[in-house]
Each structure stands twice: as structure tokens, then as C-alpha cells.
């Protein structure tokens, strides 16, 4: 009560001198009260207003892991033809806990643990898709999808074309892709350019929780084989989850990019985890008066080059950022498409690519960090492009 006492006894001063009108002191209800200071009704009212001041509700935060889980759960519930198979996806809830709770809810027939044989269970999944089901085939990491490349490319991607449009293959291949942490060369490759090269596949690469849920649901409903490239380091990252994304009807169209930040000086295009680095770089550069327009591709194939072109025509500069290797990469494709299209005539400087280093991923931490794009690398590339 000492703090309250000091507050009550201090006179309220008006601007320019004089004492403000005082509320009458309250009469104690119980003379024996031990309170040395009693508050007037006006003072009590003021304290209550401060105590019960309402603030805007905090935005819902959802991790990328939970967003994918929610999307799969909703589609499993919506369509009994949907099922999930892969290594440890059932009783163990997935190596990265992305399928947490699904086995308990849907049972062995729809959440299926497989042997460690990517060639085998990918083939089973493709056959199931040809038979009219909608499998979600999880690779513990997309590096292991190399064991099933024949099933993904020759069986899944090409069948619809080879059958003259008579045999669709509605399947989703999903799992973590790209650099992780301390897993070295054989577990760190980015397969965006690998699978983006192949006709017959659709390839999506989410960054945020909103991306992850909207794209996994669209991928499951698509009648074409879809490769969903997730990122291990993003699974536990929370993002604001808008009310729209919480709906069971929420979908993100495959083939549509998103402008994450508006800008006028330079266009920065990326996908997956590096989108966050681009936004960090844009925040830093904004303090120097450089406004970057950051585009989150979301989809690698079919690529939304129209959104990139429109941005380049506005900013007259282009930087691409990706975690994969430089040769024949996503950035190289973007630059080629810009050069071949109407936006080329709007460029005031050559486009610049920021990529992973052209080496297998090292194990040592310092070498690993220098093998993938960092915020400082993006800032350097932007300033180089703008000749600053």
C-alpha cells in the first residue's frame, strides 16, 4: 500500500500552475480498518480502468510443422482415398514429428510405416495413385529420394503424358530438403532445380506456416504428381497464422508467388528458408533508404514468372537468392526467363544470383555457414546490383 499511498497523497497539478480539482475522500466503511490510506471513488475508478485495460488479442502463432500436420489431417478427414506412408510416419509420429497424432486418429490402414526402402515404398505409392488413391509419400529427407528417382520421374511424372491423358497419378512426394545443420554432404542437397527440371511434376517450396498448409492441401487435391520441398530448419519456426489459413477450405494455388514485402528499388526473389534472410536484409537496407521488393516464389514449377516480371519492370533491378548450387539452378532459370521476356528491357543493371557454394556441403560449422547464403551476402549482392 506504500506505493499507492504516495500516489494518492501527491497533488495533481494543472499545466501553468494551480491544483487540479480533487475527488472527495472516502469514508471508511469499517473504522477498524488497518489501511492507513483510503482511496476516493474517483481514484478507485481510475485504477480499475488501468487494471482492466483491454489489448488486442495476440495473433495465433503456428509452426511450419504443425501447419503441415493440420493440412494433412484435414485432407485425410475430407477424403478417405488419402493416406500417408513412409519411414517412421506412424507410431513414431515421423522423424520430425510432422505426422504427430495421425496414426492414433486414422490407424494402420491410412498411416503406414514402411521398411527402409525408398525404391519399394515410392513404387507402392505410385501404384496406389494409378489405382485411384491419393498417397502422400514421405521421404525422411529428399536426399533419400535419389533411391526412388525412377519411380518419381519415369513412373509418376511421365505416365499422364504417355497415356494420352488417360492415367493420372495424383501423388505427393514430401519431406525436408536442402541444407540442415551438421549433416554434411549426403544429407544437405537442395532438389528444387533437380525436380523443377522435369516435365510432368509440380514442385512447391513453402517458407511460412501459411505456405505450408495451403500448399500441402493443394498438392493433395491436385491430379498431378507434386513434389513438396520442406526445410528441416523451418519445422519448429512459428509464424503468424491468419484466420483465413485456419479454415479447412484454405488453399494456396500452385503456381502463384507472393510479394512478402513491397519495394521500389530492387526485386529480390527467393523460396523456402532464404526468404526469411531476404526479409532480414530488406529490413537492414530500409534503414539506409533502399526499399527491396521481396518475392516468395512458393512454387518452383510451374513458376510464376509474371509476378517477377511485373516487379522487375517497377524496380529495374533483380537479385535471386537460393540455397542450391549455382549451375542450372532456380536463379539461373529466373534470370533466363527475364532475359527472354519483356522485363529485360527494363533492367538498369545485370541480374545477380546469390546461391549456395559450388561444393558438396562441408561438415565443419564455419564451412557450412559459408556454403549457404547469409544475410550479409544478400546485402552485398543488392548493393552491388544498385552500384552502391
Mean pLDDT over residues 344-355, rounded? 98
**Residue 36 pLDDT > 70, yes or no?**
no
Q: What is the CATH number of domain 61-246?
A: 3.40.50.970
Q: What confidence tens digit (pLDDT) does each residue in 50-70 have? A: 554 555 566 899 999 999 999
β-strand partners of 204: 228, 299
Supply the pLDDT for residue 59: 80
For residues 254 and 301, give the distance between their C-alpha atoms in angstroms, rounded to a whole number.
Answer: 8
The model's pTM: 0.84
Mean pLDDT over residues 247-262, rounded? 98
Supply the pLDDT for residue 56: 56
The domains spanning 61-246 and 258-385 adopt the same CATH topology = yes
Mapping DSSP to helix (H, G, I), strand (E, B) and coil, where does residue 86 land? strand
Mapping DSSP to helix (H, G, I), strand (E, B) and coil, where does residue 149 land? helix
**Residue 7 pLDDT > 50, yes or no?**
no
Nine cell digits for residue 251: 488453399
**Residue 334 pLDDT > 70, yes or no?**
yes
**Residue 285 pLDDT > 80, yes or no?**
yes
For residues 191 and 193, give the distance between their C-alpha atoms in angstroms, rounded to a whole number.
Answer: 6
- 38 pLDDT band, cuts 50/70/90, is low
Q: Where are the domains of the chain?
A: 61-246, 258-385
The better pLDDT of the pair 182, 322 is held by 322
For residues 169 and 149, give the distance between their C-alpha atoms in angstroms, rounded to a whole number.
Answer: 16
Beta strands in the chain (DSSP E): 61-63, 82-86, 111-113, 134-138, 172-176, 202-204, 226-230, 238-240, 258-261, 266-270, 292-296, 299-301, 318-321, 352-354
**Residue 298 pLDDT > 80, yes or no?**
yes
Report whether 157 contacts 105 (CB < 8 A). no
Among the ranges given (30-44, 214-228, 233-247, 340-354), the one the predictor scored with the smallest mean pLDDT: 30-44
- 102 pLDDT band, cuts 50/70/90, is very high
Q: What confidence tens digit (pLDDT) does each residue in 177-208 have? A: 998 888 888 999 999 999 999 999 999 999 99
Supply the pLDDT for residue 34: 44
Supply the pLDDT for residue 57: 63
In angstroms, how far is CA 70 from the centroid of its own chain?
A: 14
Supply the pLDDT for residue 6: 34
The kind and range of the H/E element at 275 are helix 274-286
Nine cell digits for residue 119: 525404391
**Residue 230 pLDDT > 50, yes or no?**
yes
Supply the pLDDT for residue 49: 52
Share the mean pLDDT of the chain: 90
Report whether 229 contacts 178 (CB < 8 A). yes
Mean pLDDT over residues 105-123, rounded? 97
Distances, alpha carbon 212 to alpha carbons 89, 160, 252, 298, 299, in Å: 18, 26, 9, 9, 11
Nine cell digits for residue 70: 493440420
In angstroms, how far is CA 22 from the centroid of its own chain?
A: 57
**Residue 46 pLDDT > 70, yes or no?**
no
**Residue 226 pLDDT > 50, yes or no?**
yes
**Residue 25 pLDDT > 70, yes or no?**
no
Task: Supply the residues annotated as catalytic.
Answer: 118, 187
Mean pLDDT over residues 320-348, rounded? 98
SS3 content of the chain, % helix, strand, coil (to 5): 40, 15, 45
Name 293's Cβ contacts closer than 8 Å, sequence gap at least 6: 259, 261, 262, 263, 264, 266, 267, 268, 311, 314, 315
Supply the pLDDT for residue 366: 94
β-strand partners of 195: none
In angstroms, how far is CA 217 from the centroid of its own chain?
A: 14
> Which of the following CATH numbers is that of domain 258-385: 1.10.10.10, 3.40.630.30, 3.40.50.920, 3.40.190.10?
3.40.50.920
Supply the pLDDT for residue 19: 43
In angstroms, how far is CA 55 from the centroid of its own chain?
A: 28
**Residue 221 pLDDT > 50, yes or no?**
yes
Amino acid at each position: 500500500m506504500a506505493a499507492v499511498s504516495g500516489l494518492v497523497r501527491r497533488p495533481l497539478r494543472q499545466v501553468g500552475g494551480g491544483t487540479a480539482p480533487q475527488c472527495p475522500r472516502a469514508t471508511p466503511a469499517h473504522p477498524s480498518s488497518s489501511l492507513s490510506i483510503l482511496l476516493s471513488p474517483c481514484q478507485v475508478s481510475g485504477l480499475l480502468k488501468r487494471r482492466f485495460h483491454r489489448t488486442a488479442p495476440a495473433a495465433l502463432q503456428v509452426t511450419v510443422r504443425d501447419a503441415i500436420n493440420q493440412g494433412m489431417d484435414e485432407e485425410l478427414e475430407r477424403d478417405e482415398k488419402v493416406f500417408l506412408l513412409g519411414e517412421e510416419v506412424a507410431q513414431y509420429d515421423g522423424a520430425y514429428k510432422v505426422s504427430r497424432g495421425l496414426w492414433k486418429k486414422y490407424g494402420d490402414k491410412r498411416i503406414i510405416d514402411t521398411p527402409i526402402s525408398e525404391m519399394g515404398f515410392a513404387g507402392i505409392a505410385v501404384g496406389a495413385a494409378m489405382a485411384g488413391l491419393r498417397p502422400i509419400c514421405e521421404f525422411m529427407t529428399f536426399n533419400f529420394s535419389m533411391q526412388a528417382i525412377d519411380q518419381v520421374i519415369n513412373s509418376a511424372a511421365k505416365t499422364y503424358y504417355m497415356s494420352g491423358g488417360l492415367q493420372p497419378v495424383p501423388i505427393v512426394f514430401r519431406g525436408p530438403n536442402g541444407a540442415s545443420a551438421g549433416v554434411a554432404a549426403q544429407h544437405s542437397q537442395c532438389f528444387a532445380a533437380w525436380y523443377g527440371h522435369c516435365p510432368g511434376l509440380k514442385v512447391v517450396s513453402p517458407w511460412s506456416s501459411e505456405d505450408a498448409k495451403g500448399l500441402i492441401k493443394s498438392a493433395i487435391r491436385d491430379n498431378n504428381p507434386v513434389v513438396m520441398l520442406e526445410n528441416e530448419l523451418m519445422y519448429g519456426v512459428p509464424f503468424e497464422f491468419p484466420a483465413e489459413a485456419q479454415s479447412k477450405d484454405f488453399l494456396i494455388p500452385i503456381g502463384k508467388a507472393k510479394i512478402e514485402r513491397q519495394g521500389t528499388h530492387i526485386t529480390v526473389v527467393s523460396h523456402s528458408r532464404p526468404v526469411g534472410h531476404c526479409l532480414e536484409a530488406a529490413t537492414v537496407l530500409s534503414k539506409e533508404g533502399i526499399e527491396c521488393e521481396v518475392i516468395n516464389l512458393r512454387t518452383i514449377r510451374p513458376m510464376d514468372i509474371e509476378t517477377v516480371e511485373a516487379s522487375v519492370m517497377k524496380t529495374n533491378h533483380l537479385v535471386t537468392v537460393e540455397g542450391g548450387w549455382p549451375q542450372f539452378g532456380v536463379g539461373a532459370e529466373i534470370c533466363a526467363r527475364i532475359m527472354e521476356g519483356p522485363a529485360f528491357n527494363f533492367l538498369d543493371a545485370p541480374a545477380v544470383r546469390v546461391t549456395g557454394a559450388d561444393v558438396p556441403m562441408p561438415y565443419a560449422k564455419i564451412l557450412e555457414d559459408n556454403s549457404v547464403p547469409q544475410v550479409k551476402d544478400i546485402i552485398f549482392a543488392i548493393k552491388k546490383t544498385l552500384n552502391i
